[in-house]
């Protein structure tokens, strides 16, 4: 059976779904370009990591009567950049959430998602916030505001960007973002914690038949969110827990330490030139906060020191509702530490590896900035899926090495040549590089 997650099939599915997006234009307006073409065109720019991609495709269309915009991205007519912004501005970023889930569900159906199961026999989803726009002048109704020390007001956009992560897994899988935006009827400015609760409320049912460990930094280690994950969602959390923000909990830890109530494990790891001592400490059922109604959590810590000098190389502590024992504390630490991947492998990639998340592609007066950010993250997810499961894509990435080289070649080829399909493009690249195709 033909793989459903090839780029050609993915683009066909996206095109079909986006053809049903609402069109708010009045009948007497200029409706030369369809909304779906505007969305596909914006997506193509992010997917190719090329701000000039559409300009080159317009040139190919005028010279050859055909273009890669049509054959690869199924764009019937290529709108101008400003027309794209006008078409997308009235749309809601929430329209595109199902596109993420359609891809994840297909990965699950084909059992590719199993490779993301961790040693706790759960999936790990890291939660974190990311800012992707800031200006002292440009703003829209979805902007957040802050004032600096000199009294200057700054407008910015921010979002929760959940991702599947796994220890030892190079790739992360992006899930639908939740934007931190002013909420109707609320006097308080929206925040990361509230946005995380909204995300869980909207999407937790996607994991009703799977166990999930939610990972996050110290900001997430608060009782309302932890209780929400444990009950009613019946899932797990592993959150960083710092002494300065959880004074009551650490008073318990100090008391237990003095009364030999802390269990300890020590391991030696050789790093080629020197040894490291990994010391684990853990304590079950300690109160997360002060008060008789405090949630009881399991606390654990890892301190890594240089064997010869005693220098502390790493230190962090966590709280969880996973049962904790001497046999699983190492796995708990390993999974808990994986939360850094959302910053390095997701947010940093989106900002510095060609997706240019922080660039102002267009701000608009409604939801344009968030729609464009969502399409950018969706493009990243689709590239990641290809890297995980598509043989031709994998062979090319291995042969070309750096991500930058791969995208440079994609851009160069599609600027000057027209390919009938993604399969034809990848076959051309493989033959040019003299990469042997594997038998079906």
Which tens digit of pLDDT belongs to each residue from 37-68? 999 999 999 999 999 999 999 999 999 999 99
Structure tokens at 203: 């999407």
Q: Tell me how far CA of residue 114 lies from CA of 107, 111, 122, 438, in angstroms.
A: 9, 6, 10, 24
Which tens digit of pLDDT belongs to each residue from 245-272? 999 999 999 999 999 999 999 999 999 9
pLDDT at 222: 96
Say whether pLDDT at 147 is over 90: no
Contacts of 361 (CB under 8 A, 6+ apart): 42, 45, 372
Whole-structure pTM value: 0.93
Which tens digit of pLDDT belongs to each residue from 179-221? 998 876 555 677 999 999 999 999 999 998 899 999 999 999 9
pLDDT at 184: 62
Q: Tell me how far CA of residue 371 lies from CA of 217, 228, 367, 380, in angstroms.
A: 27, 28, 6, 14
> What average pLDDT does the structure give for the chain?
92
């Amino acid at each position: 059976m033909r793989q459903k997650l090839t780029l050609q099939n993915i683009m066909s599915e996206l095109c079909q779904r986006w053809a049903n997006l609402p069109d708010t234009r009045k009948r007497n307006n200029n409706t030369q370009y369809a909304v779906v073409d505007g969305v596909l065109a914006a997506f193509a720019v992010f997917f190719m990591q090329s701000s000039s991609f559409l300009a080159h495709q317009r040139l190919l269309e005028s010279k050859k009567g055909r273009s890669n915009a049509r054959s690869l991205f199924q764009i019937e007519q290529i709108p101008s950049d400003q027309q794209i912004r006008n078409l997308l501005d009235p749309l809601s970023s929430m329209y595109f959430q199902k596109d993420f889930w359609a891809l994840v569900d297909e990965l699950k159906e084909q059992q590719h998602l199993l490779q993301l199961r961790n040693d706790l026999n759960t999936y790990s989803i890291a939660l974190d916030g990311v800012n992707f726009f800031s200006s002292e002048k440009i703003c829209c109704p979805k902007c957040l505001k802050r004032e600096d020390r000199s009294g200057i007001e700054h407008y910015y956009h921010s979002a929760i960007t959940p991702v599947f992560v796994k220890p030892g897994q190079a790739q992360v899988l992006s899930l639908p973002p939740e934007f931190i935006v002013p909420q109707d009827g609320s006097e308080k400015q929206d925040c990361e914690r509230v946005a995380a609760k909204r995300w869980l409320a909207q999407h937790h049912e996607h994991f009703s038949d799977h166990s999930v460990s939610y990972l996050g930094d110290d900001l997430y280690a608060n009782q309302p969110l932890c209780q929400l994950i444990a009950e009613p969602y019946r899932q797990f959390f592993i959150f960083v827990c710092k002494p300065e923000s959880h004074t009551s909990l650490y008073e318990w830890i100090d008391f237990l330490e003095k009364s030999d109530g802390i269990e300890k494990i020590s391991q030696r790891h050789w790093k080629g030139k020197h040894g490291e001592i990994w010391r684990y400490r853990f304590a079950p059922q300690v109160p997360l906060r002060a008060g008789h109604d405090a949630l009881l959590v399991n606390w654990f810590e890892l301190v890594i020191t240089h064997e010869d000098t005693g220098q502390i190389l790493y230190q962090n502590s966590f709280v969880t509702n996973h049962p904790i024992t001497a046999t699983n504390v190492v796995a708990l630490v390993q999974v808990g530490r994986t939360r850094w991947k959302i910053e390095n492998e997701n947010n940093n990639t989106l900002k510095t590896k060609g997706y240019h998340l922080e660039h102002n592609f267009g701000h608009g007066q409604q939801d344009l900035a968030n729609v464009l950010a969502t399409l950018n993250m969706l493009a990243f997810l689709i590239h990641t899926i290809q890297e995980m499961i598509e043989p031709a894509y994998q062979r090319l990435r291995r042969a070309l090495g750096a991500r930058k080289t791969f995208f440079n070649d994609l851009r160069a080829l599609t600027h000057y040549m027209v390919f009938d399909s993604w399969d034809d493009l990848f076959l051309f690249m493989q033959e040019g590089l003299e990469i042997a195709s594997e038998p079906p």
